[in-house]
Structure formats: structure tokens, C-alpha cells
Amino acid sequence: MTPTPSGRSGSSRIIPRSVGRLRQTCGLARFVLALAVGLCLAFGVSCAKQAPVPVGLNTDDALLEEIQKRCFDFFWEQADPDTGLIVDRAHADGGNRPRMGSIAATGFGLTAVAIADERGWVEHGLAYERVLTTLRYLWDDLPNKHGWYYHFIDIRDGDRLWKSEVSSIDTALLMCGVLTVRQAYPDTEVAELATKIYERIDFPWMTNGEATLSMGWKPEPNKVNKNGFLPQHWNEYSEHLVLSLLAMGSTTHPLPPEHWHGWTRSEVYDYKGKRFFGSTALFTHQYSHAYVDLRGKRDEYADYWHNSVLATIAQQEMCAQQLSRHFPHYNAKVWGISASDFVDGYTGWGGPPATTNIDGTVVPYAVAGALPFTPELAMTTLRHLATEHADEFWTRYGPSSAFNPAIGWKGDEVLGIDAGITFVMIENHRTGRPWELFMANPEIRNAMNHAGFRPLTAEENDPTRASSLFKLGHKLPIPAEALTDARFGTHDADVLPLDAGWDSADWQELRIDNALEWGQPTNRHQLTGRFAFMWDDDALHLRVHVNDDEIVNDEDADELHQGDSVEIFLDPDHDGMVWRDTDDFRIGVAPTGQRYEWFGQRVGFGSVILVNDDGYELRCTFPWKFLGHRPRAGQTLGGTVALKSVDEVDGLIRLNWAFQGKKPPIFLGNLHLR
């Protein structure tokens, strides 16, 4: 997937000016009210004020309805009245309506309008008019490429924004809304247009001749594909399951049934005996399930519904039992980590295993989106957040994008895709209506037959089952619990004087179960290692022993980091590593002896590689002059060592001793000069 401004498909971080139809007003005297509304309409701004924290929501259903109504207000108020396109994000109090739209948010919005129409939250004629306006614009006016739409567009004129990609997954989420309203308004122009829009999509074109679908296309050629296709494909289980079904179900440009077997389900995690696969971000376990009803069904590989159940339970337990030791506000009732806004912007995170950049942020949509999978866990948390963290939780448009109780931060915007997954999954929990409407489309039912779905047997339909997989594959489960503890533990190593001898050094072990950062190996012993630092008045000395069953690095000098190598990160001032800071170092050495230095192309250090039967040994000497540091006993430096291995079976595997954070400063392990 092309990196978006937000880092997650469906959302951006920028806040352009906005326009759109108004439904709410400011609470002054009548004549002032009329004047204010007139000015707002004239200049395209909203006079909305943040709604107060609700009271009297004594039942679960009342609380869920209040959340849904506020989420619906986002889609109703933040759509352009002439195009029906919906903004990517809006200010949490209503504020000015931006111009940047999201096709994924528009898809969720179509579903929300249809449900609100049935619930009587909006007049039927107005709801139908809004849906019809949107579909007419999608069919007649919104630029597309072989039926696929650009990720981010101007809601006024449909122009491509941010040089965004023609996005396969975001078009799929739009189609989910399109096919939902096709069933909600049968035998109408809406249904006719919905069919045309879906049937126009050329699914084989998006494969670029490969077995799986590309994540997108851009009119500008890229380094890998001069024809503009993004090199990244949907080749591992993620939120794309519904995209594959849409492709296989097409009656005009389908992908063959073999497509279903072209992507892997191999990223398996083991958390306290629970085995599930996919990403650590909860949204990847929710998006397809918002529309495809997979309850009580399986294919030859897995029970995807139970997979999401296990992933949700594992995250709740991780927050309550492990991360709470580092962020005390996490507990059994305060959890939810998925790609979101945070105090410094937008980031991707999740777990287990916990990603190293977690900072205590709570993401409400991650909990709301889990309601159908774990009703009791999710409902308990939603009620707790809505009451005990009310000021942080509530906005005009439902739950906030995210908040962090540890630092008193709350996101000041609401994202359309967050409001969308919240709205749709709450409705599925309450009535199952989005599932009912979407699954009424014969193309989806046919696709599921092509994929080999069948009902679970009585034995298979066991909610206590510890694994969601029926075909584990050749890769070993990632030890998610141990890695979470390792990643958030304190990493300390003594750096003894060199004259004490290497046999006395404080050797640190690197294994799959305590240091895995990337990848999933087939063999626990495929990549292991150990390292130690020592020092004297002239230099910092390092030795690394790498056990690797296959050494591969035939890369050009500029691409050495793509192959087997040892990477050393050093923060001599121990103030957090910042990318390309001249005081920090990221150094790599390949088994061939070639070296690379990321933060300034400095090569003022010595290194020797000794290849042996088990792998290789690296010996490095970093002069203090090179490091710009004057050492003395009692000082603490920041540092870590990472091992990288690449082979045909497992791809890239990386072990990293201590590396916490994604946005600088990044904190490394503690190297104590003795």
C-alpha cells in the first residue's frame, strides 16, 4: 500500500478548508440563530458546537444508539450536498468542513445513511436523495481508472488530492457501501447505478499480471513498475478479504477461484496458547467483517470470525496484564490499540506482540469495532470509557479518534473511517442489518462458494477453541506474550573495560522468542546470536556472533541493508535516537565485510568479519573520536544490535535487542560503562 498521509489506508492528517450542508445550529436567540445559519451557509462553514457529554444512558442499547446517532451526524453533515462525497476527517466539534474526501469514508457513509433511514433518524426522501446524488456522481463524474477510484479526492469537484493512489482497498470499502444501498433501495435508480458502478471495475487489471491484487496504481511511474502499479500486493491476510470476494464475485471482470489461494495466512501469533494470524492492528481484523458475515463458516484454511475473536481477546489481555505495568491506565476496561492519531500525528500500532511505539494511547474505534466478536468485553469497555473517561471519549461525532490519559491528550478530529467502522459494527451487534443487506448480493454469495466456504461442524464450532487455523502451514507461531515483555522491558548491559577480557563480557542473547522484530521464521534456531560491548580510553569495542543457516547478501552497495547484515544503533548522549542526527549512529555491516552508515555516510570505524560453519562473527571498533564522545566509568550510552537475515522461504527476519518507539526520539538499550 502506498503510504498515505496517515499511514493507514482510508485516512489522512491534513486539514483543508471545508464546505457542506448544515443540520445543526448555534444556541442563541432566534433572530441571531437565523443570521448565524445564513452566514454559515453563505460561506461554507459550520456553526456546530461540540455536543455535551450525554446523560441518562442507563442501558447498553441507549448508549450504543447515542454513539451511532453521533457517528451518523458525521456522515450527514460532512458530505458535500452536490457530490455526496464525504470528508476524510473533520474537527471533533463540527467546525469547518474540509475539502479532502475519502472514498472509504464515503462507502461507510452510504451504509450509515441507509441504516439511519430505516431507523427513522432522517427523512426517507432526504436519505434517498443523498444516496442517489452520491451514486450519480460516482458513475458520471468522479475520475476513475478501470472502475477504481483515487484514495483521496476533493469533495467539491472530485479532483485527486495528495497525489494519492488509485486504491484497491479503499475502492473495495466504497463498493461495500454501494452494494449495501443497492439492497436497501431495490428496484430504484440507486440499485441500477450501484450495479453499474460495481460491474465497471476491472479486477484483473489491478493484478498487473500477478496472482494477487496490487494495493494501487498511480499515473506516475515508480522505481519498480514503470506502468504505475504499486509494488506492494495483497499477498498476506489483512483487511483485504472483502476485496478478494468482490473480485471473485464480479460478473463482468472476475478473478478466478484460484485467486483465493494466492495469498498467505502465515503470520501466526501465539499469545498464552491462543493462535491467530494477521496483523497486530485490530482494524485489519474488523473491516471485512463489517460487511461479510463469516459467523459459523470456514474455508480450508481457517475460521476467520474466530480469528478476530482471538485477536481481540489477546489484545485486551495484553493491555490489562502486560502493558499496564508500563502504562497504569490500561486495564481490563481500558484497552484498544489500532492505527490512529496520537499526540504527535498519526501512527500504526497494535498487538500482541505489542509494537514498540505504543505510548499509552487508547483508540475507541478499536473497541467499538470488536463488539460483534467479544460483546461482553467490548461493551464493558465502551460503557467505562463513555462514563469514567467521558470528557476524553465524547465528541460531537461520537467517540474521539484517540486519547491518552497519561498525558492528558485527546484527538481534536474525528476520522470518517473510524466513525464508519464504529457505526457499522454497532449496528451488526444490535441487528445484523449491514450483514443482511450486503450478503443479499448474489455476487458475494457466489464468491464465497468459489472460495470454498462451508458451515462449521459442531466440533469445529467451539467458542473455546484455542486456534482459528485448520491448516497451520510451515511457519512457527510468533511468541507474542514473550515478545511483548521483551519489547517493553528494561534492557541493560554492562560494558566492562577491555582488559577484563571477552570471556568476562556481559553477553546479550538474541533469539526468536526475545528479540523478533520482523518476520516469521520456519525454524526457531534459524537465526540466533549474541553480542557484547567493551571499552577502553580509545574506543568502544563490539563483538557479535551470528548463527545463520544461510548467508545471503549479494546486494549493491546502496542496498546492503536489504540482505543479511548486522546493524548497530548508537546514541552516545543517551537522549533518544533521532534519524540522521549527527550525534546518533545507525551502522550496518554485511557478511561480505561491506559497510553502510545511515546518518551521514561516516566510515571512521574499524570492522572485521570472520565467517565460520555456523554463520559469522563481527568485530567492530568505534573510536570515541568517531562517536564524538568522551567516556568515563559510570556513564550510560544508548545502544542496540540487530541481526537481519533473508532467504527464499522466510523472506526478511530481524532480531533487535532494544528498540522502543517509531517516531523519534527512539530509545535504545542502556550500555553502562563500568
CATH number at residue 192: 1.50.10.140
How far lies 531's CA from each of 344, 490, 646, in Å? Answer: 34, 17, 20
Quick one: 515 and 446 in the same domain?
Answer: no
Alpha-carbon dihedral sign for residues 201, 203, 204, 208:
positive
**E-only strand ranges, 511-605:** 516-518, 527-535, 539-548, 565-571, 585-589, 595-597
**Contact call for residues 111 and 177 (beta carbons, < 8 A):** yes
Is residue 413 in a domain? yes
Is residue 15 in a domain? no
260/450 Cα distance (integer angstroms): 8
- Collect all residues with Cβ–Cβ distance below 8 Å to 362 and sequence separation of at least 6: 329, 330, 334, 335, 336, 337, 385, 389, 392, 402, 403, 404, 405
389/313 Cα distance (integer angstroms): 22
Q: What angle do CA 337, 350, 391 make, to 5 degrees?
A: 15
626/572 Cα distance (integer angstroms): 11
Nearest partner of 14 among 108, 103, 87, judged by Cα: 87
- Collect all residues with Cβ–Cβ distance below 8 Å to 144 and sequence separation of at least 6: 150, 166, 200
Q: With b meaning 16 or more CB within 10 Å and e meaning fewer, what string describes 134-162?
A: bbbbbbeebebbebbbbbbbbbbebebbb
C-alpha cell at position 358? 505504543
Quick one: 359 and 506 in the same domain?
Answer: no
**Contact call for residues 45 and 18 (beta carbons, < 8 A):** yes
Is residue 388 in a domain? yes
> How many CB atoms sit inside 10 A of residue 492's CB?
13
471/452 Cα distance (integer angstroms): 14
Task: Write out pLDDT tens, residues 382-437.
Answer: 999 999 999 999 999 999 999 999 999 999 999 999 999 999 999 999 999 999 99
Quick one: 133 and 276 in the same domain?
Answer: yes
C-alpha cell at position 32? 441571531
Quick one: 47 and 176 in the same domain?
Answer: yes
Q: Give the length of the chain.
A: 674
How far lies 404's CA from each of 53, 75, 359, 418, 506, in Å? Answer: 18, 26, 8, 17, 37
Quick one: 508 and 613 in the same domain?
Answer: yes
Is residue 139 in a domain? yes
DSSP bridge partners of 620: 542, 607
Quick one: 599 and 556 in the same domain?
Answer: yes
**Contact call for residues 85 and 158 (beta carbons, < 8 A):** yes
Number of H helices, E strands in the chain: 18, 33
> How many CB atoms sit inside 10 A of residue 422's CB?
31
Nearest partner of 644 among 493, 527, 472, 538, judged by Cα: 527
* Alpha helices (runs of H) in 120-159, residue ranges in sequence order: 124-140
pTM of the model: 0.87
**Contact call for residues 493 and 532 (beta carbons, < 8 A):** yes
Nearest partner of 489 among 360, 322, 674, 280, judged by Cα: 322
Is residue 464 in a domain? no
Q: What is the pLDDT of residue 82?
A: 98
C-alpha cell at position 499? 582488559
Nearest partner of 657 among 356, 358, 360, 357, judged by Cα: 356
Is residue 474 in a domain? no
657/669 Cα distance (integer angstroms): 7
How far lies 145's CA from each of 46, 150, 168, 215, in Å? Answer: 34, 8, 11, 14
Quick one: 46 and 156 in the same domain?
Answer: yes
Q: What is the pLDDT of residue 664?
A: 72
Quick one: 537 and 603 in the same domain?
Answer: yes
Quick one: 499 and 438 in the same domain?
Answer: no
Domain termination residue (choose one: 429, 455, 481): 455
Is residue 483 in a domain? no
Residues of the chain with pLDDT under 70: 1-52, 472-474, 524-525, 553-561, 599-603, 648-650, 662-663
Quick one: 432 and 558 in the same domain?
Answer: no
**E-only strand ranges, 138-210:** 144-145, 148-149, 152-154, 166-167
Pairing relationship of beta strands 394-395 and 508-510 according to DSSP bridges? unpaired
C-alpha cell at position 478? 510468533
The pair phi, psi for residue 343, each rounded to 5°, is -60, -30
- 416-430 and 103-119 helices, crossing angle to 10°: 40
Q: What is the DSSP letter of 98?
A: P
Domain termination residue (choose one: 433, 455, 477): 455
Structural domain boundaries, residue 507: 490-673
C-alpha cell at position 28? 442563541
Domain termination residue (choose one: 404, 438, 455): 455
Quick one: 298 and 201 in the same domain?
Answer: yes
C-alpha cell at position 34? 437565523
How far lies 425's CA from each of 56, 506, 588, in Å? Answer: 23, 51, 46
Nearest partner of 304 among 371, 238, 378, 377, judged by Cα: 238
Alpha-carbon dihedral sign for residues 266, 273, 322, 513:
negative
Q: What is the pLDDT of residue 365?
A: 98
Is residue 498 in a domain? yes
Quick one: 104 and 43 in the same domain?
Answer: yes
How many domains are there within the chain? 2
C-alpha cell at position 19? 464546505
